[in-house]
């Protein structure tokens, strides 16, 4: 942390101190969050995604971890009453394969795909 901050802000010790404090705090929070997670393939994938996406920025890694956890929960609990259950499951499986490790994108693509599916099927139903 220190070496990167000193390199980025070589003539600003106040900014260096500020960023070191923020990064050190985020690192500690990230470690605690990772330690609190149940150890399994799911958690390992989310931790790996967050940490490899931002290897030198602990604030962003922590932010990404939190977003991935929230998005994964939303993805797995996602329902859409207007969409038949089997169709929803097919889209979830397709999306899951297309975006390994990135639950935020899985959720976004799932919602986008289902919006398009609903529009297409409404047009077909209206044409009858």
pLDDT at 128: 45
pLDDT along the chain (128 residues), means of 10: 94 96 97 96 95 96 97 96 93 92 96 93 60
Q: Do 62 and 26 touch, CB atoms closer than 8 A?
A: yes
Residues 6+ apart with CB under 8 A from 34: 43, 47, 65
Two structure tokens written together for 61: 């890694």
Report the sign of the C-alpha dihedral through residues 103, 108, 114, 120, in that order: negative
Q: Which of 105, 113, 110 is nearest to 68 (CA)?
A: 105
Rounded distance, CA 27 to CA 124, Å? 52
For residue range 73-102, list pLDDT tens digits in order: 999 999 998 899 999 999 999 998 999 889
pLDDT at 31: 97
């Amino acid at each position: 942390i220190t070496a990167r901050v000193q390199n980025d802000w070589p003539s600003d010790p106040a900014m260096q101190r500020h960023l070191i404090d923020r990064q050190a705090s985020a690192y500690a929070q990230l470690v605690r969050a990772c330690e609190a997670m149940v150890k399994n393939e799911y958690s390992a994938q989310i931790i790996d995604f967050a940490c490899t996406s931002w290897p030198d920025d602990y604030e962003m890694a922590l932010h990404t971890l939190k977003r991935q956890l929230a998005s994964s929960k939303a993805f797995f609990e996602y329902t859409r009453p207007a969409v038949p259950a089997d169709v929803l499951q097919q889209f979830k499986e397709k999306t899951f394969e297309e975006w390994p490790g990135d639950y935020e994108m899985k959720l976004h693509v799932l919602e986008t795909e289902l919006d398009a599916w609903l529009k297409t099927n409404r047009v077909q139903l209206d044409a009858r």
